[in-house]
Amino acid sequence: MSAHLRRVFAAIAIIVCLSYSYKSRADEIVVVFNSDWAPYSMGAVEEVEGILPDLVNELLGTHMGLSVRVQGYPWARVQHLVEQGYADVFITVPTQVRLEYALSSEEIAYQVEMRAIVKQGSDAETLLRETPTPTSLKSLRTCDILGNGWGKAYAANHDITPVIASKVSNCLLMVKNGRADTSIQSTVVAELEINSHGLDEDLVILPELFGQMSFTLLLSKKSAYGQEFLDHFDEVVKRMKDDGSYDTLVRRLHDIQVK
C-alpha cells in the first residue's frame, strides 16, 4: 500500500473515531445537581440521589427515552458546569443571569413550596394560622439559613430582619427551644428535618403558602441538545400534568425520600 493510501485510510479512521466519540456524547445527556440539598439532591458526582435526580431520570429517561447521567457537585460548580457547557442541564429558578447562558423550558419542572414552621401551641402558631402574612412575620423572631436566596429576597421585600443559622435543623431547634418563633422553609426539607430529629411532637408545618420557587429545566446554550429537546420536554410534562401522572410521580418520589 502506498504512503498516500495509508494517509487516506488514517484520515478516514480518525474521522470515524471522532464521529463515534461525538455520537456517544450526544446520545447521553448530563444533568447536574446540588450535592448538599437533602432530600432534593445529595451525594457527590455519580452517587447523587434525591427527589430531583429521580424526577429527571423518570422524565428524561423513562418518558423521553434518553440516556441520562446525573451528577452532584457544590452549587457554584453546578452552575459553572452548565454555563461552560461541560454539563447539559440543571433544574432551578430561571433567573436573568442564568438565562444568559441557558435556555429554559416553558413548563415548570418542579415547584418548591415555602411554609412556616412553628412550635405547637405557641402564640406564633395562633397568629400565623389566623393571619399568615408578611406583616405577622414582622412581629415574630424568624429564623432563616445562611445562603437561602429566596429567604434573603423575601425578608428584604417585606422589611423582616431574620435570625440567621447555618442549617435548617438549627432553625427548627431554635423554634422548639423558644429562641425563635418561626422559620419559613421548603415544606419537604422541613418534613425531612422534623422527622429525622424527632421533632414531630414539638413542631408543626402550617398549611398556608408564604411563597414558592418555580424550577424549570435549564439547558446550556453550549449543549449539543437544543430547542427541539426542550419542546419535547414541555410536551411530555404537559401531557403528564393533564392526565395526573406528574402529580402521582412527584408524590411517590416525596414518599421515598421523606420518611
197 DSSP 8-state letter:
T
Strand 203-220, strand 89-92: pairing = antiparallel
In angstroms, rounded to a whole number, what is the distance separating the alpha carbons of residues 41 and 3? 56
In angstroms, rounded to a whole number, what is the distance separating the alpha carbons of residues 38 and 150? 17
CB atoms near residue 173 (< 10 Å): 19
Band the pLDDT of 11: cuts 50, 70, 90.
Answer: very low
Give the pLDDT confidence of 164-215 residue by residue, as tens digits. 999 999 999 999 999 999 999 999 999 999 999 999 999 999 999 999 999 9
Give the pLDDT confidence of 138-150 residue by residue, as tens digits. 999 999 998 888 9
Locate the domains of the chain by residue range.
Answer: 3-111+214-257, 113-212
pTM more than 0.85: no
Q: Which three cell numbers mark 10?
A: 488514517
In angstroms, rounded to a whole number, what is the distance separating the alpha carbons of residues 63 and 243? 14
Instruction: Give the dihedral of Cα atoms 219, 225, 231, 235; nearest 10 deg.
Output: -90
Query: Which whole-number Å values give the CA distances from 23 to 15, 51, 78, 171, in the listed order?
Result: 12, 29, 24, 48
Spell out the CATH class of 113-212: alpha beta
Strand 142-145, strand 182-186: pairing = parallel
- Architecture of the CATH domain 3-111+214-257: 3-Layer(aba) Sandwich (3.40)
In angstroms, rounded to a whole number, what is the distance separating the alpha carbons of residues 191 and 39? 10
244 DSSP 8-state letter:
T
Beta bridge partners of 212: 113
